[in-house]
Homo-oligomer: A and B are copies of this chain.
């Protein structure tokens, strides 16, 4: 057993590297569709369920259905049954970058002991309230800060984070525009 074999961050990098090779030759299998379904409860309180998705050419399911609650806080004259919709973007961003750090560390033979990411999104709510049309509705900026304890130098840890950012689905989705179509069912 070599030193790198003893590194275990719990990521099956071998399977991912094999998947990469397979999907190079079969791009149709790489086309995933992620889905969510939201039900209005009352006020701005909603319940969203996530279970099924499409990928590898077939319908797939998560092991269990996830149910996510969103609402506005009491300072917005709402009931605060759950986090706000825009906070879900921060959950996605920090979890994506953290998963990437674990994957890249496994691939580079770096043993992680702990990883924590804190994320802050600056939001001028005059946009969504229509108080100033020059203010955008979304975040003015987002900052993610990692605290990582690992068998690696500061430089190697910074390189892990940089590579995670480079491959992150959510980092891309927030920093670059995506076409979003919204329609009413016929």
- In the complex, whether A111 has a CB less than 8 A from a CB of chain B is no
Interface positions, chain A 36-93, Cβ under 8 Å from B, are 36-40, 42-46, 48, 50, 53, 55-56, 60, 62-63, 66, 68-78, 80, 82-93
How many copies altogether? 2
Q: State whether A12 and B128 are in contact (beta carbons under 8 Å apart), knowing that A36-B119, A48-B91, A70-B99 are contacts in the complex.
A: no
- Find chain B residues with CB under 8 A from A115 CB: 39-40
Chain A 149-179, CB-CB to B under 8 Å as 1, else 0, gives 0000010011001100101111111111111
Closest Cβ neighbor of A147 among chain B residues: B185
- In the complex, whether A30 has a CB less than 8 A from a CB of chain B is yes
Q: Among the listed B15, B142, B173, which residue makes an inter-chain contact with A139, where contact means beta carbons less than 8 Å apart?
A: B173
Query: What's the least CB distance linking A127 to chain B, in Å?
Result: 7
Query: What's the least CB distance linking A162 to chain B, in Å?
Result: 8
- Find chain B residues with CB under 8 A from A183 CB: 143-146, 161
Closest Cβ neighbor of A24 among chain B residues: B131
- In the complex, whether A180 has a CB less than 8 A from a CB of chain B is yes
- Find chain B residues with CB under 8 A from A99 CB: 43-46, 70-72, 85
- Find chain B residues with CB under 8 A from A78 CB: 11-12
**B175 pairs with A175, CB closer than 8 A:** no
- Find chain B residues with CB under 8 A from A1 CB: none
- Find chain B residues with CB under 8 A from A167 CB: 127-128, 130, 137
Supplied contacts A33-B122, A174-B174, 10 more A-B pairs, CB within 8 Å: A10-B42, A30-B125, A36-B94, A44-B103, A46-B94, A66-B69, A138-B170, A141-B180, A142-B180, A154-B184
